Amino acid sequence: MKIGTDIHKELFCRDFLNSHISYDPETMDWPKLDSDTLDKLRAIPFWEEAVSIETRAGKMVSAFAKTIEDPLLREAIALQGQEEARHGRLLKTLITKYDLGAVARPGQPLSRQLEAEFIEFGYDECLDSYFAFGLFGIARQAGFVPDSLFTLFDPILDEEARHIVFFVNWIAYLETQRGAGAGWLRGLKSMGNYARSLKRQYSTFGRSTNEGFTAKGALNFNINLTIEEFLDTCVAENQKRMSQFHPALLQPVLLPQLSVLVLKIIRLWPFHKTRTNLNPKSA
């Protein structure tokens, strides 16, 4: 299959649309949690930021969908907008159900450059989701909260995987349609976009103790973990999520490839078995 063709568009759009799962956050079977688990959840600082990001994303993606002329692309992106908004409702329900004490922040106004914002959001989501897959696996292995809560949220991470796979195929299709579809050119543009995304994430991480929710949330898991173990888990969890997709579809590859490279370097280092704990709280 050639990237950027109608066949490619049909595949990544239909795959996305057909894999949609219907659920209502307000009527989900939320498990009863003990006081220790509730204390752990209340200690995590990212709830406000997560709600803000997902709620705003739902509005932005839905607004962008309305600007798209192609009916199939418009339908798929509109569905993503609905799913992003549902993630915001899910987090609000979680906060209310377990009395986590987080207060919703007022949303920022949408940019007039909706396509540019959608692209920025897509690259940010590719980075954030990769580490979220790893952290989810790490927390589950450690029994951070009861497994019933992980079971509840597992399909949500599959939904995030759907979003990033759809995005990397959409951006490749878009660039090809606009005459920038050569593999090396798309690769260079992707590297630039990922670099800007990392810069945004770093800036967000440093502004507030409540921001940078994926990275800072990890420090609240209080799990004794080395860099090698963390990256190993991220690679494995990402492979598990990505294995569900049609093999002809493009997938985000930058972070998995960088992780594998870093792991090879670490394992060549003669002192790599010395534990360097990522989380000083658990040392």
Q: Residue 169: name the closest of 252, 244, 68 by CA.
A: 252
Evaluate the CA torsion angle 262, 267, 268, 274 in order and state its sign: positive
110-135 burial: b if 16+ Cβ within 10 Å, else e:
eeeebeebbbbbbbbbbbbbbbbbbb
Which neighbouring-strand residues pair with 277? 226
Look up residue 198 and give its amino acid.
L
SS3 letters across the chain: CCCCCHHHHHHHHHHHHHCCCCCCHHHCCCCCCCHHHHHHHHHCCCHHHHHHHHHHHHHHHHHHHCCCCCHHHHHHHHHHHHHHHHHHHHHHHHHHHCCCCCCCCCCCCCCCCHHHHHHHHHHHHHHHHHHHHHHHHHHHHHCCCCHHHHHHHHHHHHHHHHHHHHHHHHHHHHHHHCCCCCHHHHHHHHHHHHHHHHHHHHHHHHHCCCCCHHHHHHHCCCCCCEHHHHHHHHHHHHHHHHCCCCCCCCCCCHHHHHHHHHHHHHHHCCCCCCCCECCHHHC
How far, in Å, CA of 49 to CA of 104, rounded? 8
The tens-digit pLDDT sequence of the chain (283 residues) is: 899 999 999 999 999 999 999 999 999 999 999 999 999 999 888 888 888 889 999 999 999 999 999 999 999 999 999 999 999 999 999 999 999 987 666 667 788 899 999 999 999 999 999 999 999 999 999 899 999 999 999 999 999 999 999 999 999 999 999 887 667 667 777 777 777 777 776 665 555 444 444 444 454 555 667 889 999 999 999 999 999 999 999 999 999 999 999 999 988 876 656 555 555 455 4
Q: What are the angstrom distances between the C-alpha of 201 and each of 118, 124, 145, 204, 214?
A: 16, 8, 27, 5, 10
- CATH 1.10.10, applies to 6-282: no
Q: Where are the domains of the chain?
A: 6-282
Token code pair at residue 18: 């057909």
Q: Where do we find the tokens 């951070």?
A: 144
How far, in Å, CA of 197 to CA of 201, rounded? 6
What are φ and ψ of residue 277, in 5° steps? -75, 130
pTM of this structure: 0.88
